[in-house]
Amino acid sequence: MSVPAGIAKEILAAGGRVTFARFMQLALTHPVDGYYSRREIRIGARGDFSTAPGLSPEFRHSMARLLGDLAEAAIRETETGRVALVELGAGEGDLAGALLERWDVERPMFRDRLEYKIVETGAHLRDRQEQALSGAEERGWRIGWTADVDQALATMEGGVVFGNEFLDALPVHVVDVGGEEPLEAWVELDGEKAREVWAALSPEAGEELEAAFGTTQPAELRALSGDGIIELRPAARSLLDRVAADDADVALLIVDYGDWHIAPGARRATMPGAGTREPYSRSLRGYFKHQRVDDLYSHVGRQDLTADVDFRALDAHGRRAGLETVFFITLADVLRADHGAQRLAVLHEQAAQATEYALEADQRATVLEQLLDYEGLGGTFKVMLQVKRHGATP
């Protein structure tokens, strides 16, 4: 498939070649031709991917409880008693709607004390979010939108920043450490198509290697990678720096797939609260109509692009910025702590009864089983909480 005109123009304007990270950013967020800018993008059964909030009411229930507790703690800590909850990329508004609906009943005081801010770059997704949340606004909830993280955090006196399957879509630099010198994946145009080439590191990749690993030497980096590839996300470090930049107390909760990878000087990576995983490797892939696509250039601007999150790097970058990692656990841990196993038993009972609700209960039980399974989605998805308290310095 040819590269859309708007994306091709950006590549040509950069001299005909961009890092894969820049290509990924354009393919996902270009205002006209990017994946998240498409009018026809759908999240769920009719789209290219499904998210945990869209699949499981039980997930939404657990997030409402966890985020509600964090927001309540933030309210107690602020002088004004008013805080913000910033959601990074809200999909079609499923999770936001579920949170506010539950808080209507369980935490009605939030309506006067909490502003719900959504960071969304896709105009059409934002339209759907506004439509999905119109009822919540009518019930008195204060909801705002911005395409820029800085704007969302600029007037924040304190509160919670939350991202569910957000970091995995931030652009990654792909570095090959198998040779005498590290090489980076770049993308150039070959006629109307994209072509991947390998060349010297970009300044951004070199800086991130130093920040995350303390070296750019392939001999040292090879010991950390199972296949000679390391993926880097400077954009995640920038996000953490911005979240921690102000004096206000802030909690950052991330739900995503990935691992606490092996650290320099370690033979294996022991992840606090979430087991042990293998070294780094290439995880980049695309999704098109719920099918995994290994050719990252086959449907430019029309397929989702994603890569696993490096939670060890998040912890290291966060600590430098003044954020303390409170916990790093699996999604299965979160759901089980919120009586997920008991809810599953109830769903199985309801599915066994001859009622009109039986089919829905069976479907919910099937998804919840996967989210409770440490060897399935429940173990694949991780949950990390980082906090910065007033007066803390990096």
Q: What CA–CA distances, in Å, run from 204 to 20, 22, 209, 249?
A: 12, 11, 9, 29
Tell me what percent of the residues of the chain surpass a pLDDT of 70: 91
pLDDT band at 333 (very low <50, low <70, confident <90, very high): very high
CATH code for the domain in which residue 309 is found: 3.40.50.12710
- What is the model's pLDDT at position 158? 87
Q: How far apart are CA 255 and CA 238, in angstroms?
A: 18
Nearest Cα residue to 38 out of 118, 133, 128: 128
Q: Does 346 score more than 60 pLDDT?
A: yes
Q: Is residue 202 part of a domain?
A: no
CB neighbour list of residue 113: distance below 8 Å, 6 or more residues apart: 75, 81, 82, 83
Compute how many other C-beta atoms are within 10 angstroms of the C-beta atom of residue 268: 11
Q: Which range of residues forms the domain containing residue 310?
A: 5-173+186-195+230-338+379-388
Compute how many other C-beta atoms are within 10 angstroms of the C-beta atom of residue 32: 12
- Kind and range of the H or E element at 152? helix 149-154
Q: Is residue 13 part of a domain?
A: yes
- What is the model's pLDDT at position 84? 94
For strands 83-88 and 159-164, give the pairing. Answer: parallel
Q: Is residue 99 part of a domain?
A: yes
**For the segment 155-181, what is each residue's pLDDT rounded down to a tens digit?**
778 899 999 999 999 999 999 999 999
pLDDT band at 46 (very low <50, low <70, confident <90, very high): very low
- What is the model's pLDDT at position 45? 47
Q: What is the pTM of this model?
A: 0.93
Q: Is residue 115 part of a domain?
A: yes
The mean per-residue pLDDT over the stretch 22-46 comes to: 81
**For the segment 113-145, what is each residue's pLDDT rounded down to a tens digit?**
999 999 998 888 999 999 999 999 999 999 999
Nearest Cα residue to 326 out of 160, 196, 189: 160
- What is the model's pLDDT at position 274? 57
Average pLDDT of the chain?
Answer: 91
- What is the model's pLDDT at position 216? 94
The mean per-residue pLDDT over the stretch 247-267 comes to: 84
Q: Is residue 207 part of a domain?
A: no
pLDDT band at 248 (very low <50, low <70, confident <90, very high): confident
| Residue 261 DSSP label | P
Q: Is residue 302 part of a domain?
A: yes
The mean per-residue pLDDT over the stretch 244-256 comes to: 92
**For the segment 292-314, what is each residue's pLDDT rounded down to a tens digit?**
999 999 999 999 999 999 999 99
Q: Is residue 208 part of a domain?
A: no
Q: Is residue 279 part of a domain?
A: yes
Number of domains in the chain: 1
